[in-house]
Amino acid sequence: MDELPSPRLVDAVWRYRTSSLIIVGVAVLLSVLVALIVGEPSRMQARLALKTPDKAGVLGVESGETAFARYANQRALFVTSDKVIAGAMEKLGGSVTQETLRDAVTAEASDTGESLVLQVAAGSPEEASRIMRAVIESYREASRAEVAQRVKALLDTLAEQRKSIEERLADTPEGTRRSANTEAAAQSLSELDKRATELKVAASQIGDGVAFVYDTEPDRTALLRAVARDGVIGFGVGGVIAVAVAWFRADRDRRVGNLAELEALVDEPVLGEIEHVSRDEAAALLWLGAPPSKTYRMVAFGVQQVIDEGVLIVTGESGSGVTTTTIQLASALARSGLNVLLVDGAVRTHGLSTSIGLAAKQPYGNEDDHRKHPGLTDIAMGNVRPQNTMRVVELGDGVTLTVIPAGAYVDGVLERFSVPLLDRAIGEMRAQFDIVLIDAPTPASAPEAGALVRASDAVIVVVRRDADAAGLRRLIEQIRIVGGKVAGYVLTFATRNR
């Protein structure tokens, strides 16, 4: 008997879909709670459009796009300089520390290099807006002061040049040379005055170097986005954990998922698979008068290949469809021309007897019911011979089927069972019929079934899809321990082919 292959992830998750959904749900919930508790800083962005460089050189920028882009990067660095940060802190009244401002404020040149992009992250939208205003005001004041200082330095230089020219002119002696120097000095002084005027005009036009400010509203959806982001992260993490847990559980609890897996697990042949049907269709399969389904006819053909005569036990775990399989096989074999005896060996539950209307409705001891519904319990206790319990059922078209019901059952009846009587009765059944099909519980669930298994010629094990592989191994071992021989398997509740 081989091991089943490792379970597929999809099958594992589907099997444990409820617990997997719970794991994912808990992970998402925890992630959302963390986002709500920790919070998300509110962010605000503003753009400062820079003025075009002046020809007077007040900004100290050479002409050309490259030079101006370099200037924009320098101004972005200036936004977070000590001077601007200190000014912003002062405007905020000292309520925010310098370190906090440095962490909260970022600036960079735009892709085109024509503006500065400022971003502020704070604990609330209002705080972000307040910091942004303080930083912009501080930057503009510092820039204006910087321009004014640069213009003053340039005007001071021009004033010194003017003074130097006037002093040289005063030291020149009277005459032709003085007249020439006077004309040259006048021209130079005129140019200096013109230059000074240009600087003053340029300084007035440039001001703080900012053409305009595009100030956006604070991002008030930051928390919602944080919740959504953390929720997605939680979903991903929870999904990974759920898949891992589901696969680990499925690997520890391997199950028979399809025909190929059953064939890989067992040594004996798999006689066929029965597709899962609706409740109404399943109820119709329990009616002996209905023709057996195509799949059960194929299984019956497979049964005939492994055992063409004798006593055949059909068993399996509760809920696997043992009774339905037994009835359908009996009907199919009878319609194929065999003389078939159908026996209800489940004396505790008598499901087969109930399905065909031969169940004892009163406990054992009621004489009327005993005479009306004698069965396997009466045979095992020596009260009747097998022939006295048999009922012939018409299947139609002249086909008949003989049935022995389970008989009446109460606590204490099994202690009066006689194994030798059962063995002798089964021998009589074997001699009288081509095939004897006995619907029996597993030896572990009903110890009296062990006597039936031991007296049989072969055992057909009905395996439900998703049956526990370890449980199937235990059932096979139980059958072998009591002296039974497994002839084959039938897989029930198989997935329908689309």
To the question of domain 255-494 being in CATH 3.40.50.300, the answer is yes
Please say whether the dihedral angle defined by the alpha carbons of residues 117, 121, 125 and 131, taken in this order, is positive or negative: negative
Q: What is the pLDDT of residues 308-340, one digit of tens each?
A: 889 999 999 999 999 999 999 999 999 999 999
Quote the pLDDT of residue 54: 61
Q: What is the pLDDT of residues 356-398, one digit of tens each?
A: 888 765 454 444 445 567 899 888 888 889 999 999 999 888 8
Ramachandran angles phi, psi of 493, nearest 5°: 60, 30
User: Bridge partners of 492?
Assistant: 464
Q: What is the pLDDT of residues 109-150, one digit of tens each?
A: 988 888 899 999 887 888 888 899 999 999 999 988 988 888
**Which of the two residues, 24 and 12, has the higher pLDDT score?**
24
CA gap 419, 416 in Å, rounded? 10
Task: Name the pTM for this structure.
Answer: 0.61
Whole-Å CA distances, 443 to 146, 163, 450: 99, 123, 5
Quote the pLDDT of residue 365: 47
User: Domain residues of the chain, as ranges?
Assistant: 42-222, 255-494
**445 sits in which H/E element:** none
User: Bridge partners of 118?
Assistant: 46, 107
CA gap 223, 264 in Å, rounded? 54
Q: Where do we find the tokens 């006077």?
A: 182
Per-residue pLDDT averaged across 237-262, rounded? 90
Whether the pLDDT of residue 426 is over 70: the answer is yes
